[in-house]
A and B are shown apart, each in its own frame.
Chain A
Amino acid sequence: MSGRLKASVSVAMLAGTWLGLSGAAEAFTAYVSNEKGNSVTVIDTTTMAVTGTWKVGRRPRGITLSKDDKELFVCASDDDRIDVLDTATGKVVRSLRSGPDPEQFILHSSGNPLYVANEDDSQVTILDIEKNKVLAEVPVGVEPEGMGLSPDGKILVNTSETTNMAHFIDTKTFEVIDNVLVDARPRFAEFSGDGKMLWVSAEVGGTVSVIDVATRKVVKKVTFKIPSVNDEQIQPVGVRITKDGSKAFVALGPANRVAVVNTKTYEVEKYLPVGQRVWQLAFTPDEKQLYTTNGTSNDVSVIDVESLKVVKSIQTGLLPWGVAISKK
């Protein structure tokens, strides 16, 4: 293992030197779940090329990495389980008891437990990934999907797509402590880096609600307007906020754009054209690149975060859904 580690470190250093000149990103690995391909596409973020395709269970959607990046977790929604892959070999090494129809999940910053939204079952499952043991099941609204975790790990937020609420769950007691109504079909919940604000996208409502976490009041609804695109086509899904809290990136679904939102003024600064039906987003760990999954064009777009330009599109498997990026 140490040999491999050393090798990757030196590759990273090499890439680092090279990028000092070119401004390109450090070497990381992006993993993309292909909902209809039943596979994960592996992409080297330096070369922006596909380096592998791994087989997983049926209808892979939510995707995330273990704290040490050695394991990749993939929701195999139609198999009612979470597949765990060894990132060194690309093989499924075990499966976790996720409860029925897992769609999205989020890992506690300590590396355990995993919080899973069970879309068909109106509940959130809290799973100890070491023991593969369900710690709790929390009833929430109809079609739970979005999962956000406060930076201190104390508050879990789940959004329910048909109930149209953000459910605030205490991660110690597993109790729902509050419910905030947002616009129609909330898909994603993202805390700001300081944990003070929660951004919740509403796919059918066409808005992003910004919720003050302390008072649990909606303080702002971010709206979008794109010339030559019908308002109905603007369907916000994935949201990512930069670590410094200055910018939020919002994927707008069939509008085929990613909006760049100023988090102070809540104004959209730019709409970046990406592939078709863009849903989920992930930064590289250095935040130099943002990857977007484009479901109907079967590719991911790579956005250069500093210049706010789309620099590349990379073919994936069928219907790319989610993306996770490791530090290696």
Chain B
Amino acid sequence: MLLASACMPLSTLRLLAALSALAAVVGGPPGAIAQEPKAETGEPPPGSPTAQQPAAMPGSETHVAFIYRPIPAPSSYDAEAEPEDLGVAGARMAVKDNNTTGRFTKQTYSLDEVALEEGRNAVDAAKELAGKGVKYFVVALPAAEVLAVADALKGDGVAVFNVGSPDDSLRGAECRANVFHVIPSRAMQTDAIAQYMTLMRWRKVFLIVGPSDRDKAYAEAMKNSAKKFGLKITAEKPWTFGPLMKARGDTPTRAEAMVFTRGLDYDLAVVADEEQDWGEYVPYRTVDPRPVAGTAGLVATTWHPTLETWGAAQAQNRFRRLSGRLMRPLDYQAWAGVRSVGEAGTQKKTTDAATLVPYFTEPGFGLPAYKGVSLSFRPWDHQLRQPIIVVQPKAMVSVAPEQGFIHQRTPLDTLGVDQPETTCKLK
């Protein structure tokens, strides 16, 4: 019964059968289960580990750290305010999922949540946890902090899951052997938009670029995608009108912000505004009636409230029950990061980092994550290969890779930087 107290609230144990069933599972008939080796990998059988695993002892939980910077409380009225538990709520659900499966594999997981206060260093927090033996770090942090944490933990045999930074540099020149990227790179996001444009035969892009480095990086990714899929950037302009998205109904429409789209030849306007300062100002305000995509309008992402196929409806419901709100992309990415540990643990019948960390990039590893196909990490840059959903604010529009985009390995590798092009040298 120790598992019951370690990993699940007693309230979930119901009626007569529950206790006895659990006892049976925990006790397990010795030597009763095994499975044939996985033919395609030659891996040892990932059968139920009841027979092979020593019983989990109290305190032998596998710790997964989730390090993030909480969002400052919004102003008294903000219709689009981000929830305070953004990301961490997804990590909590994943630990719960890991433990439900863990009842049958004698693995228990716990989440070490680290909400960094203003001025507190992510590296210090990570080192402190690593000192206590934590091996798995899921981080929702900017690129520079992801790198700092990864470098500080180098040689500790840990895995750092990047769920918050899409920077292509982290998958390229600045890649690290101990970092696994759950969030799709910018290249994957803009490739998804470009594939959709190809499908629609929209060839000409008007690129509008915000002032920040992140905006410029997004624009750069869009240009690369255009090149890759044979689209044309027919116009490019910087956005110089400030954060007009914060404009209110009584703010006069800025004439110059409207006319700067005049006289251009394009099919689709792509806005690069990762901070969400002005992108939403562009739709319906272009001189020519043209659709808008990029960081506003038609967006490439990992999760959306209208995603319900491939079992996603169950995840949506489970998440809403646990956290009282809709699941957002960062929640999903955090979930996928923590579940990667749990899934590898089930498949390898151990949560030992020396076994699991190399396993994440082996062909045998696969994460089912409500996308219809199994997700896996690319060995050359540790990016999670995954379908990308293309959405408008209240509906799914498409799923990339689009039909017809083929690749000798998997169509998923038509999104993002492929092996021959990578600049990553893992170290």
**Residues of A bordering B, CB below 8 Å:** 101, 119-120, 122-123, 126, 134-139, 141-143, 160-165, 167, 169, 173-181, 184-185, 204-205, 216-219, 221, 230-232, 235, 254
Contact = CB atoms under 8 A, between A and B. Distances in A.
Contact of A176 (B21, B39, B97, B410): B21
Contacts of A219: 36
A232 B410 CA distance: 8
Nearest to A136: B17
B36 A134 contact: no
A195 B151 CA distance: 56
Contacts of A218: 35-36, 45, 47
B368 A179 contact: no
Interface of B: 12-18, 20-25, 29, 32-36, 39, 45-48, 50, 97, 100-101, 103-104, 311, 314, 317-318, 321, 346-347, 366, 368, 372-374, 410-412
A160 B45 CA distance: 19
A185 B371 CA distance: 11
* Residue of B317, B347, B368, B410 with most partner-chain A CB within 10 A: B368
B48 A178 contact: yes
A185 B13 contact: no
B318 A120 contact: yes
B50 to A, nearest CB: 7
Contact of B97 (A134, A162, A221, A231): A162
Instruction: Enumerate the 6 nearest inter-chain pairs by beta-carbon distance, A residue then B residue, closest first.
Output: A136-B17, A174-B17, A184-B368, A163-B101, A175-B24, A179-B48
Given A173-B20, A218-B36, A139 B103 contact: yes
A126 B48 contact: no
A163 B104 contact: yes
Contacts of B412: 232
A217 B104 contact: no
A136 B16 contact: yes
A165 B47 CA distance: 9
B311 A120 contact: no
Contacts of A180: 33, 35, 47-48
B97 A138 contact: no
A137 B346 contact: no
Contacts of A139: 12-13, 18, 21-22, 103
Contacts of B366: 184, 204-205
Contacts of B368: 161-162, 164, 184-185, 204-205
29 contacts: A119-B314, A120-B318, A123-B14, A137-B14, A137-B17, A138-B18, A139-B13, A139-B18, A139-B21, A139-B103, A142-B97, A165-B101, A173-B20, A174-B20, A175-B20, A175-B21, A176-B104, A178-B33, A180-B35, A181-B46, A181-B346, A204-B373, A205-B368, A216-B32, A217-B36, A218-B35, A218-B36, A219-B36, A232-B372
Contacts of B100: 122, 141-142, 163
Contacts of A231: 410
Given A139-B103, A142-B97, A232-B373, A185 B311 contact: yes
Contacts of A161: 311, 314, 368
A217 B33 CA distance: 7
